[in-house]
Amino acid sequence: MIREIKMRRSIRNYNNKSVEDEKILQLLESARLAPSGSNTQPWHFIVVKSELTKQKLAKASHNQKWMLSAPVFIVCVADIRCRIEGTVDVILNENSPQEELKQILRDTSISMEHILLEAENLGLGTCWVAWFTQDEIRPILNIPTDKYVVGIITLGYANEAPKARPRKNLKEIIHYETW
Ligand SMILES: Cc1cc2nc3c(=O)[nH]c(=O)nc-3n(C[C@H](O)[C@H](O)[C@H](O)COP(=O)(O)O)c2cc1C
């Protein structure tokens, strides 16, 4: 696993080879098996291949045009209904004080990282995109306002081999016994 962790890069340039459906399913299977608080599994995934829909999503993501070279987007959505059931009106956005939002964001992010690492294992490139607002993304995909779009994963075969971006040294981030 450390190989995939070390070799993964954010890929922002893809070639035009399409991604096999079995590989997409394997990525989603790796997401399905992620851990979550109280095993609530708040995640949902929308697989988008339509050029028109991808254009709308890229435009809503601050017009990041590089996204369009990816043949597939996986839109990763957290559903608060695993924690707040019933008919209580919950409208989620970036400023929402709803405390369960933190939990579903945390859990869905774990499942997204599973996708990124399994994609690396399958020879696929990915990039996590989160530079958008809920109000702009949700209507494009008919996502209700009690769901939160955590990120869009662009997916495809890489057409670039970026160098590793720097990370902090271990000694900057490790503490023993206390802070
Ligand atoms: C939550 C999150 C949001 C991100 N949003 C974007 C984005 O909108 N556009 C983009 O080009 N990269 C985005 N990235 C990719 C980061 O820039 C990238 O992970 C970071 O620079 C480290 O590079 P690496 O992934 O190649 O190691 C995002 C990454 C994360 C984890």
User: Does the pLDDT of residue 124 top 90, yes or no?
Assistant: yes
Mean pLDDT of the chain: 97
| Cα-to-centroid distance, 97 and ligand 1 (Å) | 25
Residue among 129, 148, 168 whose CB has most ligand 1 atoms within 8 A, to mutate: 129
What does the pLDDT read at residue 145? 96
Does the Cβ of 131 fall within 6 Å of ligand 1?
A: yes
Dump strand ranges (E) for the chain: 43-48, 72-79, 125-129, 147-156
Residue among 127, 155, 167 whose CB has most ligand 1 atoms within 8 A, to mutate: 127
How many secondary structure helices (H) and strands (E) does the chain include? 6, 4
3-class secondary structure, 92: coil
User: Does the pLDDT of residue 143 top 90, yes or no?
Assistant: yes
Its sign, for the CA torsion 154, 158, 163, 169, is positive
Nearest C-alpha to atom 30 of ligand 1 is from which residue?
Answer: 128
Nearest C-alpha to atom 10 of ligand 1 is from which residue?
Answer: 129
Q: Report the percentage of the chain scoring pLDDT > 70.
A: 100
Residue 58 and residue 64 in contact, taking contact as beta carbons nearer than 8 Å: yes
Which CA distances in Å does 158 have to 95, 131, 162?
35, 21, 10
CA 11/CA 158 separation, integer angstroms:
6
What does the pLDDT read at residue 87? 80
Residue 61 and residue 71 in contact, taking contact as beta carbons nearer than 8 Å: no
The CA-to-CA distance between both ends of the chain, in Å, stands at 28
Residue 80 and residue 145 in contact, taking contact as beta carbons nearer than 8 Å: no
Q: What is the mean pLDDT of residues 12-21?
A: 97
Does the Cβ of 137 fall within 6 Å of ligand 1?
A: no
Does the Cβ of 10 fall within 6 Å of ligand 1?
A: yes
Task: Spell out the residues 6+ positions from residue 147 whose beta carbon is closer than 8 angstroms to its own.
Answer: 44, 77, 78, 79, 80, 92, 138
Q: Please tell me whether the overall predicted TM-score, pTM, comes out greater than 0.85 for this model.
A: yes
Q: What is the mean pLDDT of residues 84-108?
A: 94
pLDDT in tens, 58-94: 999 999 999 999 999 999 999 999 999 878 889 999 9
pLDDT in tens, 36-54: 999 999 999 999 999 999 9
CA 19/CA 70 separation, integer angstroms:
10
| Cα-to-centroid distance, 127 and ligand 1 (Å) | 6
Residue among 94, 128, 148, 165 whose CB has most ligand 1 atoms within 8 A, to mutate: 128
| Cα-to-centroid distance, 16 and ligand 1 (Å) | 22
Encoded tokens for 77: 């959505």
Residue 44 and residue 131 in contact, taking contact as beta carbons nearer than 8 Å: no
CA 132/CA 111 separation, integer angstroms:
20
Residue 34 and residue 43 in contact, taking contact as beta carbons nearer than 8 Å: yes
